[in-house]
Amino acid sequence: MDLAVRTKAQEWLDSSIDESAKKEIRRMMDAEDQSELVDSFYKDLEFGTGGLRGLMGIGSNRVNKYTVGKATQGLSNYLLKAFPGEQVSVAIAHDSRNNSDFFAETTASVFSANGIKVYFFTELRPTPELSFAIRHLGCKSGVVLTASHNPKEYNGYKAYWDDGAQVTPPHDENVINEVSKISSIDEVKFVQNPALIVEIGEDIDKKYLAEVHKLSLSPEVIKRQKDLKIVFSPIHGTGITLVPEILRQFGFENVHVVKEQATPNGNFPTVVYPNPEEAEAMSLALAQARALDADLIMATDPDADRVGIGAKNNSGEFQLINGNQAASLLIYYMLKKWRENGKLDGKQFVIKTIVTTDLILDIALKFEVEAYETLTGFKYIAAVIKELEGKKQFIVGGEESYGYLVGDFVRDKDAISSCAMLAEMTAWAKENGMSLFDLLVEVYKEFGFYKESLHSITRKGKSGAEEIEAMMKNMRQNPPQTIHGSPVLKVYDYLSGEVKDVKSGKVSKLDFPKSNVLQYTTEDGTKISARPSGTEPKIKFYFSVKEALKSANDFDQVQESLNTKIENIIEELSLK
């Protein structure tokens, strides 16, 4: 038994936590199998790409009143140091997850106890609205209590800075340092100061939705296509608060909400995972779309920062459109309309992450719009927007994991504005005699059929984390020379900050923050990326392969060829 684990558990027992929490710790300590105790206390929850996230329960490696309180105390300490002599204010929101409202209240209590003013969303709200509220209200920071699309057992804590983006270096490390200085839970100030808490809600909704409405590029098309059949599901989450309303404001009059998933519920009773990336989570929406012969399916995750979409394919069957495809379509539509409207003057830009399809780079090149790449995580996209603010104009950005951002009034992925613009894009395609799938085929014919796939390997607990670390180490030390018969040209190591040209052996520097990501590119255009998740116990492998598409009639054949190629690569690299 790890002495450090037992010592930390005893420290919790000796603190002023409530009796029910102490009882749970004693149960774990007295159990014959100590694995639950180890997983609960072997480390402290850390800020990853998505902030603080983990299983709910008692322990330093669990999300509970005390870890949330400790994180908030550390953030409070840092805010008071970063903005000395100022009345610091923050905004707080929460999603539909079990305990999210309680954790939000805990967060508000700790902030107020530290003399920090709190703007508090009393009812559940989407994450992007929290980002908007921070900027609109002039806050120095903000927190949303959510675990995004994780299973129901999880919850989390996303911390934001004054630009409305999730906390990035050096602030994230500085907050972690402040949290680590807290040696006892007893140092956390839990007693709320009600005088410093201001309730917010509909007033912010109206201002946020007004900004989203300004994004519309084809209002005259929507007037003609107002009967576009849209099926929407919030998957028991916060999307229900704003998505139907913004679609109505845009002018869509034929929106059908999936009733079985319309009510917020942290148990997510109709799905295994409340994640629109999973086909199973979209099954009820798909069934309703078939019954209605819909033009567009959309579903948002619990905190409404991600959206999954679907439409009829060339066989007349409803098909889900993945994040790489949706991001590419949205960027294509936005740039095409901006050019048609005479708004492109060489000072605009788009952004994607390094594991998102390079099709976006090809599209941006055609429209002569600069394209930036960032590390995985929308906080890095937000950092580029902030850096270029006042110099260049951000149009749209996206990542493969179903996150998109249109406009810069929000600094995180935004499913509310994305739903509105995706619906508008579908109306525009229909106006031009195309379904959304037809539009995708046209893009592939012009730029090449890019096929991406995500393959994840889950390894839970401490032993799992060690196994994932060993996998990354082996891939760094023993990179493949060929992949699917094509020579590996370059190896990008974002942890060392270097890219190696395999043929010449030349090594050059990467202009990115350091991150545990490894990429191989090959002579035939294949790209493979490996990245341990910052929020889940898994390692993710991203595959991108490409082939020409000469005719819409060849779509199925080319897709099958590319799918087979990816399957062969997974087997070749022993990633089963």
pLDDT tier at 575, thresholds 50, 70, 90? confident
Q: What is the mean pLDDT of residues 135-141?
A: 98
SS (H, E, C) 171-204: HHHHHHHHHHHCCCHHHCCCCCCHHHEEEECHHH
474-503 confidence digits (pLDDT tens): 999 999 999 999 999 999 999 999 999 998
Of 405, 420, 446, the last residue of a domain is 446
Quote the pLDDT of residue 215. Answer: 98
Same domain? 13 vs 104: no
Give domain status of residue 530, yes or no. Answer: yes
Give domain status of residue 205, yes or no. Answer: no
Mean pLDDT of the chain: 95
Say if residues 540 and 561 touch (Cβ distance below 8 Å). Answer: no
Number of residues written out for the chain: 576
Same domain? 277 vs 331: yes
Same domain? 234 vs 125: no
90-127 confidence digits (pLDDT tens): 999 999 999 999 999 999 999 999 999 999 999 999 99
- The dihedral of CA 180, 121, 119, 82: what is its sign? positive
Catalytic-residue membership of 148:
yes
Same domain? 478 vs 380: no
Quote the pLDDT of residue 48. Answer: 56
pLDDT at 50 exceeding the cut of 70: no
pLDDT tier at 212, thresholds 50, 70, 90? very high
Give domain status of residue 208, yes or no. Answer: no
DSSP notation for 390-421: TTSEEEEEEETTTEEEESSSS-S--HHHHHHH
Would you say the pTM of this structure is higher than 0.75?
A: yes
Find the radius of gyration of the CA atoms of the chain.
24
pLDDT at 1 exceeding the cut of 70: no
Same domain? 191 vs 236: no
pLDDT at 331 exceeding the cut of 70: yes
Same domain? 397 vs 491: no
Same domain? 384 vs 357: yes
Give domain status of residue 207, yes or no. Answer: no
Say if residues 165 and 408 touch (Cβ distance below 8 Å). Answer: no
Quote the pLDDT of residue 186. Answer: 93
Same domain? 141 vs 241: no
Domain of residue 306, residue span: 217-446
Exactly one of 40, 76, 112, 148 is catalytic; name it.
Answer: 148
Those residues with Cβ within 8 angstroms of residue 125's Cβ, 6 or more apart along the chain or in another chain: 93, 94, 201, 205, 238, 241, 242
pLDDT tier at 172, thresholds 50, 70, 90? confident
Same domain? 358 vs 371: yes
How many structural domains compose the chain? Answer: 4
In one-letter notation, the amino acid at residue 540 is K
Give domain status of residue 209, yes or no. Answer: no
Same domain? 17 vs 132: no
Quote the pLDDT of residue 2. Answer: 78
Same domain? 87 vs 161: yes
Q: What is the mean pLDDT of residues 530-541?
A: 85
Same domain? 163 vs 272: no
Least confident among 14-18, 188-192, 255-259, 361-365: 14-18
368-382 confidence digits (pLDDT tens): 999 999 998 899 999
Domain with residue 504: its CATH number is 3.30.310
Quote the pLDDT of residue 126. Answer: 98
SS3 136: helix
Q: E strand or H helix at 454, and its extent?
A: strand 449-458
Give domain status of residue 211, yes or no. Answer: no
Q: What is the mean pLDDT of residues 21-39?
A: 94
pLDDT tier at 56, thresholds 50, 70, 90? very high
Residue 90's Cα: distance from chain center in Å?
Answer: 22
Name residue 455's beta-bridge partners: 541
pLDDT tier at 535, thresholds 50, 70, 90? low
Give domain status of residue 73, yes or no. Answer: yes
Say if residues 93 and 133 touch (Cβ distance below 8 Å). Answer: yes
Quote the pLDDT of residue 176. Answer: 83
390-443 confidence digits (pLDDT tens): 999 999 999 999 999 999 999 999 999 999 999 999 999 999 999 999 999 999
Query: What is each CA distance from 461 to 39, 41, 50, 237, 464, in whole angstroms?
Result: 6, 11, 19, 28, 5
pLDDT at 68 exceeding the cut of 70: yes
Give domain status of residue 381, yes or no. Answer: yes
345-357 confidence digits (pLDDT tens): 999 999 999 999 9
In one-letter notation, the amino acid at residue 379 is K
What is the DSSP-derived secondary structure letter of residue 261?
G
pLDDT tier at 47, thresholds 50, 70, 90? low
The more confident residue out of 304 and 48 is 304
